[in-house]
Amino acid sequence: MHRYKILHRTYYNFSAEVRLEPHTLRLRPREGHELHIESAILRITPAATLRWHRDVEDNSVATATFDTPARQLAIESEIIIQQFNEAPLDFLVADYAMYYPFAHAPEDRVVLAPYLDTAEHPTDDPLAAWIARLWQPGERIQTYALLQRLGTHIHQTLAYRLREEPGVQPAADTLSRGSGSCRDFANLFMEAARRLGLAARFVSGYLHAPPSAIDYGATHAWAEVFMPGAGWKGFDPTIGEIAGTGHIAVAVARLPESVPPIAGSFVGPPGASLDVGVWVSGLDG
């Protein structure tokens, strides 16, 4: 078991006093048998009324409402977690899904339908052509090996680029530019997996990683694919590896734009600046 402290500070500074509309916060990691929350503190200025709920994807969401006008909105989340996912490769895939291609069981397919791509696509579109270089009909390959091939190829052939602007690039744009952020790579991986007939979803969260020449930051995004027998397994194309102990999932979604950490609006004069700081620290030893 590993313990991590996550400190996520967000400051909105406005040009004048404004009225704050309700804000939705997705800052609390997803709990389960692999992750336990030891403590969680959420500080908000000006004072807010918080109401918690689980959204349609079972993410933990807080809605903050405000009564006091403000020139600054400060949100600070401090969480300590216990991470038990120490052997991410220790899983068993159901016999019928061990090798690709395979068909999902009918009862699973009903539930997985939103995460599958059932649309018709031209065979000459950029994503189809790109996938064809990684897998050709007739090849029999272990399902995990195919997904690892996909993630490794993104990591090795595309350039990581930190993007400050909001939003996620369409998969075709990431391929044409040859670069993207972690959320762009996650979206490309997810769309490619869906084209291959696999159920995939987007994950936003945090990453604890040792310092490196390329700093991916502590906020992070990757993808999960449903592997029968093993469940949802995370793949991180930014680093070309399966999601492991250092990956801390906060929210999952069918669409990448559905799970921003903080979303809200204000009423008042235009103009606002944003300052965000995130630190993920190991507490072992």
Dmax of the chain from CA atoms? 64
**Structure-token match 């977690």, residue found:** 81
- 210 upstream amide cis, omega within 30 of 0: no
pLDDT at 241: 92
Query: Could you give the angle at which helices 143-157 and 182-195 cross, rounded to 10 degrees?
Result: 140
Helices H / strands E in the chain, number of each: 5, 18
Q: What is the value of pTM for the model shown?
A: 0.91
Report the candidate in 88, 113, 100 with the shortest Cα–Cα distance to residue 235.
88
Give the number of other Cβ atoms within 10 Å of residue 99's Cβ.
15
- The span from the CA of 13 to the CA of 105, in Å, is 51
Domains and CATH numbers, the chain: 2-84+260-282 (2.60.40.2250), 95-244 (3.10.620.30)
221-240, pLDDT tens digit by residue? 999 999 999 999 999 999 99
For residue 175, give the 3-state DSSP assignment.
helix
For residue 116, give the 3-state DSSP assignment.
coil
- The span from the CA of 136 to the CA of 140, in Å, is 9
Are 4 and 272 in contact by the 8 Å Cβ rule? The answer is no
Q: In degrees rounded to 5, what are phi and psi of residue 14?
A: -105, 160
CA torsion sign, 15 to 16 to 20 to 26? positive
- 101 upstream amide cis, omega within 30 of 0: yes
For residue 56, give the 3-state DSSP assignment.
coil
75-110, pLDDT tens digit by residue? 999 999 999 887 787 889 999 999 999 999 999 999
Statement: residue 216 has pLDDT above 50: no
The pLDDT confidence band at residue 124, using thresholds 50, 70 and 90, is confident
Are 220 and 186 in contact by the 8 Å Cβ rule? The answer is no
38-70, pLDDT tens digit by residue? 999 999 999 999 999 999 999 999 999 999 999
β-partners of residue 273 are 13
pLDDT at 167: 82
**Tokens standing for 106?**
């009918």
CA distances from 248 to 2, 56, 207, 245, 261 (A): 12, 20, 6, 8, 13
Averaged pLDDT for residues 6-10: 94
